Amino acid sequence: MAKSFLSFLLFSILVVFYLPLSKAEYNIMSFGAKSNGHTDSTKAFLKAWSSACSSSNEATIYVPSGKFLVGHVQFKGPCKSRVLIKMKGTLLAPSDYKGSGNEWIVFKNIDGLAIQGGTVDGRGQALWKCKESGKNCPHGWRSMLFDHSKNIKIEDLTSVNSKQFHIVIHSTQRVMLRKVTIIAPDESPNTDGISIQKSSDVTVLDANIKTGDDCISMSGGTRNVWAERISCGPGHGISIGSIGKSYNEKGVQNITVKDTVFTGSDNGLRIKAWGRPTTAYVRGVVFENSIMKNVKNPIIINQNYCPHSKNCPNKHSGVTISDISYNNIQGSSKSSVAVKFDCSPANPCKGISLKNIKLTYHGGLAKSSCKYARGKSYGNVNPKSCLT
């Protein structure tokens, strides 16, 4: 807990001093962008980026009100100075889903980037319909990817209807996401809100996420994450994992998730790991101050994860899960089992702590279920703890 707080405090101080004071501004309209929603403005954005990235002074790219159609675009660094993208308008992805690649908007190899305001609309409806029909459909674009970068701040951004993941943080350090809104229908497939992959020192504050998959997911190689004041639902909850899909996958550690509200989500606080040999781990996790409103699985660890029960390895999980704390988790469960720890007999979960848990089922007592889970309970714990 102390390490998580220190990481958060130091990064917050860094962000305060990082806010750019721009001396050069580049309006995308000056580079030929059209705000009518159907004229391709991709080249205009790339020209604006080239000017801002090559500026010796801190620079702003300004996106005024209107709708701007943008195809697949990659903004590459390194840049000579920090760049601010200030948006009032909306970026529209192509409505079809036949574009090549896995990403729509990519930021790569950048040190010092801020994005303020605006909306990105992935227009994923046609792709979701294709997938629902059972046809052979592409995976679809992830709306925004921040790759191999550092010192990134995203504030007051809205992402809607991504074809796949909304915001991906990959191999990136020192990231702040604040007042981000993410919206997609409950039934939209693979529309994770914020996916944190192989990244460190990531802070998420005051986020409102309603989507068809994980609100926030943290996968192998992720460490030092602080998520606070998060509203999630619909969606699959806040998830660590899946972990251990490959043998040499790195672990996840030093995660704090606090002051969260889950409404009608499939899961609340979840850790998921594959049932196969691996060197991966999950350790040093704090879940604190959460309210569950009709959540199917408020607290769950699944060490036998296998989506859709297809190609399951059916082996004992090698993922080491330890030092997991749940404190002050309250509300209602949609299922009778509100706390479920399904761990591996070959590698039991250990060091689980439950403190001040109050979860009900239809206004009455809920249940807990433990398999190969070890830990202790403190204070008032309802449902009655099954930890050994």
Active site residues: 236
Closest CA to 239 of 275, 269, 201: 269
Tell me how far apart the alpha carbons of residues 141 and 166 are, in angstroms, rounded to a whole number: 9
DSSP assignment of 72-95: SEEEE---SS-EEEEESSEEE--S
Tell me how far apart the alpha carbons of residues 234 and 210 are, in angstroms, rounded to a whole number: 5
CB-CB neighbours of 6 under 10 Å: 12
Closest CA to 318 of 352, 285, 281, 283: 281
Encode 206-242: b = buried (16+ Cβ within 10 Å), e = exposed.
bbbbbbbbbbbbbbbbbbbbbbbbbbbbbbbbbbbbb
Residue 273, helix vs strand vs coil = strand
Which residues lie closer than 8 Å to 368 by C-beta, 6 or more apart? 337, 338, 339, 340, 383, 384, 385, 386
Residue 364, helix vs strand vs coil = strand
CB 340 within 8 A of CB 309: no
Q: What share of the chain is helix, strand, coil (3-state, %, to 5)?
A: 10, 50, 35
